[in-house]
Structure formats: C-alpha cells, structure tokens
Amino acid sequence: MSAVFENVIRKKIETDGAMDIGTFMSLVVAQYYKTRDPFGVDGDFTTAPEISQMFGELIGAWLADMWMQMGSPAPFTVVECGPGRGTLMVDILRATRHVEGFHRGAQVCLIETSPVLQEKQRAVLREFDFIHWREAIEEVPVRGPVLLIGNEFLDALPVRQFMRDHAGWQERVVRVEDGQLCFGFEQAEKSVLSLLPALTVTQKIYEVSPARLDFAKTCCTLLEQAGGAALFIDYGYTKRVAGDTLQAVRGHQYTDVLGFVGMSDLTAHVDFVALEEAVAAQNGQFFGIVSQGEFLQALGIRRRAQVLQQAFPARSSEIDSALNRLISPSEMGDIFKVTGFGYGYNFTPAGF
Ligand code: SAH
C-alpha cells in the first residue's frame, strides 16, 4: 500500500519536478485519512476526545454558553472541522441535550474529506437528524449565527518550509534521487516570501502555512457575515521561532517523514500568532491563546472528574489518568493550546 502511494508521488515528481512540502503534505494527508481510521490504542495516535468524554462535555458546555451569550438564537449552525470518529460531537450533543432550545435550534455541519471517517461519523451520530456533511468550509449551509470548532484539525493543513542562505531564500522540497524520495532545496518563488517573519537567521528552517491562513480567512469571513465564534485546539507555538516541526507518527511512534508515505500521520505544529494576525486583519474579537490544561481547568474539568468518579467508582483510576493526560503539563496540558475568536457579539468566552 505504502509503496503504491510512494510510487504515485515519485512519478509525479519525475513528471512535474521537485514537490514543495505543502503539496507533499496535502497529498499524503488526504491519502492517509482516505484509507483508514487511525485513532486509538490499535491505531496511530489518540486525540483528546478519544481519551475521555470529559473533553467533549466541556466543549459542549462552552458552546452552550456562547450560544446563550448570542441570545439563544434559532436557527443556528454548529460547524466541526475534521471530526475524526465523531466522538467529540457525540459528547457535545449529549452534554447539550438538556440545554433548553439548543438541539431544537441547531443545525450541525461536519467538514470531513475522508469517506472512511464520514461513514464512522454517520454511524455514531445516526440518532440526530440535524447533521449534514461537507468536504470544505466554503460549502457550509449557514442558517443563523455560527459556532465553529476544530480539534487537531489545523495541524493537518499543509505547511511550506524555507531557509535563507548566501544565495537567498530556498524552499524545502521533496525530490527523487536514485529512485528514492529525499529532501532538497530549490530557489524559492518570490510570492510566498511575504509570509515569512521579518527577522530571520540564515541556515534555519522557517515554516509558513498559506493553507491555514486561507482557512483562517474563510472562517473569519463566514463569522463576519453570520455572526458567531470559533474555537480551535491544537499543538503549536505562540512565539515565532525557526524550526522544522513536520512530523510523521505511526503506531504511536515518531517515524521518518519520507518512510511509510501515506501510511503515517503527517502534521506540523500550528503557528498561533499567524492565526491571531489573521483575525486582527479582519477586525475580529480575538479571545487569546491559553494552554489546554488551563482552559479545561477553567471550564471545571476537575469537578467533572469528581462527579464522574462518584457516579462510577469502579472507573475512578481510569478517570484520574484521563484527567492527567488532558491537563498535565508533561502530557497534553501545555503543548496543546486553545484559541478562539468571535464576530458580531461582545463575547466573554469562558476559559480565556
Ligand atoms: N477532531 C478529531 C480528529 C482529528 S484528526 C479528534 O480530535 O479526534 C484530523 C481530522 O481532519 C480527520 O477527521 C481528517 O479526516 C480530517 N481532515 C484532514 N484534512 C482535512 C481537510 N483538508 N479537510 C477536511 N477534513 C480534513
């Protein structure tokens, strides 16, 4: 399987020339998700909603609060980008079931490109008749104000990589040498250089993500028109520094980015500053950037864990360990960040 897809990439490079990292990443990520359900112990990686129902329940409470801050509109639209197995949405909808009017007014749109995962989502969410699927955010049918969420979605959008040397800016590419995929550099096109930070050091890699920027702009435009708010959770950085963050994960281990092409999960850390700038450029209300640990604790995850432990004493240590994985700085608590922004209302978002 891997070799077959690697051949597709190799042929494309042999025909069209060296491939920039962004094109490589988008082709590989699409292939990866198209062909599998990668989550869980037997898969390649585990995400926050797959660790514990507490994660989705608290996001559900956050959404319900934002909805009330908008005056409990009906209809309104909830959009989730990259819903994976659908677990986060299941927990959100369970947690909001008793919020008067929330389900009655809600229309949910899931943005998913993978047919395999769409099928899983349809199965776990079959009891709800107000869910639609689309492949891109531009296709969302908007009814009323919008609440938009994405967990570990932005990291899957492609980055491009650049390095400055004596000959000017070079772009990192994938090429073929002796029949093998390998990394190299080519003279960079001028058009993308405006995205690079103003101060740079030679011989270091800088990442930029035109794809994330386009996505952020589309979110801002959507929210500007409809009113509403967005919440994104992902791993990434809040200071722009040099470095190659492109990573491949397979069977819960880091692996070679050019090995197992299309069979390992390819991601890159999210530049949260770039998101903030995109929101500022479109005059949005930026909520800030906080760590996942801080955010979940501000939303009351410790209390929620206690309540669950009292209700299910046999699961007490399992709940403790899930809590620890989600909020401890040595686990997901620090490296994962939460950010959000809003339009059309004066929000006081919980957790920021
Ligand atoms: N949010 C889920 C899954 C994260 S994995 C969780 O937390 O468990 C990334 C998800 O984004 C997968 O569902 C994948 O199929 C989807 N995805 C990746 N690239 C995408 C793209 N360009 N457009 C839409 N969905 C995409």
pLDDT digits (tens, 9 = 90+) for 114-153: 999 999 999 999 999 999 999 999 999 999 999 999 999 9
pLDDT of 193 over the 90 cut: no
Please provide residue 49's backbone torsions phi and psi, each rounded to the nearest 5 degrees: -65, -25
pLDDT digits (tens, 9 = 90+) for 214-254: 999 999 999 999 999 999 999 999 998 899 999 999 999 99
CA-CA distances (angstroms) from residue 324 to 14, 27, 236, 256, 332? 48, 35, 20, 29, 9
Is the CB–ligand 1 distance for residue 265 below 6 Å?
A: no
Strand segments (E) across 200-282: 205-208, 228-237, 247-250, 253-255, 265-267, 270-271
* Residue 338 contacts residue 232 (beta carbons within 8 Å): yes
- Nearest atom in ligand 1 to 80's CA: 1
Return the pLDDT at 3. 78
Ligand 1 touching residue 151 (CB < 6 A) = yes
Q: How is residue 314 written in tokens? A: 């046999």
Distance of CA 82 from the midpoint of ligand 1 (Å): 3
Atom of ligand 1 nearest to the CA of 50: 8
The closest residue, in CA terms, to atom 14 on ligand 1 is 82
Give the pLDDT confidence score for residue 2 in this predicted structure.
55
Measured over the CA atoms of residue 152, residue 153, residue 154 and residue 160, the dihedral's sign is: positive
- Could you tell me the distance, in angstroms and rounded to a whole number, from the CA of residue 309 to the centre of ligand 1? 31
Element (H, E) at 241: none
Ligand 1 center from residue 84 Cα (angstroms): 6
Per the structure block, which two tokens stand in for 291? 């760590």
For residue 1, is pLDDT > 70?
Answer: no
Q: Is there a contact between 89 and 110 (Cβ–Cβ < 8 Å)?
A: yes
Report the range of poorest mean pLDDT among 30-44, 265-279, 311-325, 330-344: 30-44
Q: What is the pTM of this model?
A: 0.97
Distance 183 CA to ligand 1 centre (A): 26
27 CA from centroid of ligand 1 (Å): 14
Kindly report the protein residue whose alpha carbon is nearest to atom 22 of ligand 1: 157
Cα 276 to ligand 1 centroid, rounded to whole Å: 22
pLDDT averaged over every residue in the chain:
96
pLDDT (mean) for 82-87 = 98
Task: Assess whether the C-beta atom of 171 lies below 6 angstroms from ligand 1.
Answer: no
